[in-house]
Structure 1
Amino acid sequence: MNDASTAPTLVVGLGCQRGCTAATLRALLDQALQAHRIELRAVKALASIDLKRDEPGLLELARQLELPLQYFSSAELAAYQPRLSHHSQIAYERTGCYGVAESAALALAERLIQGPAKLLIARQKYAQATLALAGAA
């Protein structure tokens, strides 16, 4: 059994449309983790863009999971553009970055690890939300 200090730091980046529910986000999270055989308890934090700071679904999901939720500015997220698996023109027009989920996951993973991170689950799209998971490279 991995003790917490050796367990990898995994973080989930989330992007969503206004009004996206916690249930929708949770369904996407459960589906992605199950598909990649990752346990929910391995996830240490959630990340998104600061434009979503007051998004009820994101806040509710973080509360339900008892996980910290960190936000990044579009300028901080834009730095990750070369590493994204998908560039969304719509996301760029709305947020100033080409992919919220992947870049937020990478940004938070690197902040927590204090080293390089990589995408372990590339962008997954579901209903009104996107999700990505990052951890140590």
Structure 2
Amino acid sequence: MSSGPFLVVGLGCQRGCPASTLRALLDQTLQAHGIALDQVRAFASIDLKRDEPGLLELAGQLSLPLTCFSAKELAGHEARLSHLSEIAFERTGCYGIAESAALALADRLGASPASLLVTRQKAAQATLALAVTS
């Protein structure tokens, strides 16, 4: 794996969200921020989505690992979120899956605390955030 910043994509989605929807949101977000797809090192989500076909398919298409965290692990990142979603909290026990998951994994992979490079982007069935660490 090459050195340099780790970019981690955090993803949240509705049950049954197709990989094509997630990919479109990813491509759109990267393009809007001038980030190349090959800079992305990993995907992260909540463990409730561990078996979500669209997420697994996207990770497989791009040959990137998908790491899932428990709501308890994600809740530790609450203070760093750009947006607290009451709906997400009611459904999952954490206030934001995409941002929390991106931060959780980037913190784990990097040498320094991660920060959100791209805050929560929302599509009809999915949310995405991008965290970076050195």
Structure 1 runs (4+) greater than 6 angstroms displaced = none
**Number of positions where the alignment pairs a residue of Structure 1 with one of Structure 2:** 134
Aligned pair partner of 2:75 in 78, 84, 98: 78
| Equivalent residue number for residue 135 of structure 1 | 132
Specify every segment of 5 or more residues in structure 2 that has no aligned partner in the other structure, as ranges.
none
Aligned pair partner of 1:115 in 112, 117, 122: 112
Question: Which whole-Å CA distance do the structure 1 matches of 2:60 and 2:2 have between them?
Answer: 21
Specify every segment of 5 or more residues in structure 1 that has no aligned partner in the other structure, as ranges.
none
Query: What amino acid maps onto 2:125 in structure 1?
Result: Q
Normalised to the residue count of structure 1, the TM-score between the two structures is 0.95
Q: Deviations along 1:22-69, whole A, 9 cap, x unmatched?
A: 000000000000000000000000000000011000000000010000
Normalised to the residue count of structure 2, the TM-score between the two structures is 0.97
Cα RMSD, aligned residues only = 1.1
TM-superposed CA distance for 1:115, in Å, is: 2.3
Question: Which whole-Å CA distance do the structure 2 matches of 1:98 and 1:87 have between them?
Answer: 5
Aligned pair partner of 1:102 in 88, 99, 102: 99
TM-superposed CA distance for 1:4, in Å, is: 1.8
**Given the alignment of the two structures, is residue 4 of structure 1 paired with residue 2 of structure 2, yes or no?**
yes
